Amino acid sequence: MRIRNYRQEDSLQTAQCIRRSLSSISSKYYPKKVIWNLKEYYTARNLKTGENEPWRLVAIEGENIVGTISLTKDGWIMGLFVDPRYFARGIGGNLLEKIEKLAKKRGFEKVRAHAAINAVEFYKMHEYKVLRQVSSEEYGKTYRVIKKL
């Protein structure tokens, strides 16, 4: 497995990876409406523009994109997804580590994320501090987490 910068031509495979993750993993913790909203946000078309998330990485296994993560202009980690067929192999942790290094290189002193219900313990394992629970009708319940770099 290798991690590299996202390219525009990765948009379809990346969107498919995200959809598989949302359908197989996130759907166990969130209502259908939230999953639908997330699938609408992470379309191939939206991923191509990358306006809100200018730094995106992808994890590659063979010829397949098996994970992704991004960083916003203001230091928020977004869209950490791993294909469920490659779950629990360290891909998420490797992506997180790489995006943190990128954030530090870009001058960020801390990074933040909205951790999904099923990802809170993952972030804690990677030295993130839970600040508070946040809820929205559109994206459901998440936990705001932070890490000093």
Domains recognised in the chain with CATH numbers: 2-148 (3.40.630.30)
At 54 the pLDDT is 81
List of E strands, the chain: 2-5, 55-61, 64-71, 76-82, 110-116, 129-136, 140-148
Question: What is the pLDDT tens value at each position of the chain, 149 positions in all?
Answer: 999 999 989 999 999 999 999 999 999 999 999 999 999 998 898 887 766 668 999 999 999 999 999 999 999 999 999 999 999 899 999 999 999 999 999 999 999 999 999 999 999 999 999 999 999 888 899 999 999 99
Query: Positive or negative CA dihedral for 9, 12, 17, 19?
Result: positive
| Structure confidence by residue, pLDDT tens digits, 36-45 | 999 999 889 8
Q: Rounded to the nearest 5°, which phi and psi values hold at 31?
A: -65, 160
CB-side exposure of 4: number of CA atoms within 13 Å?
A: 13
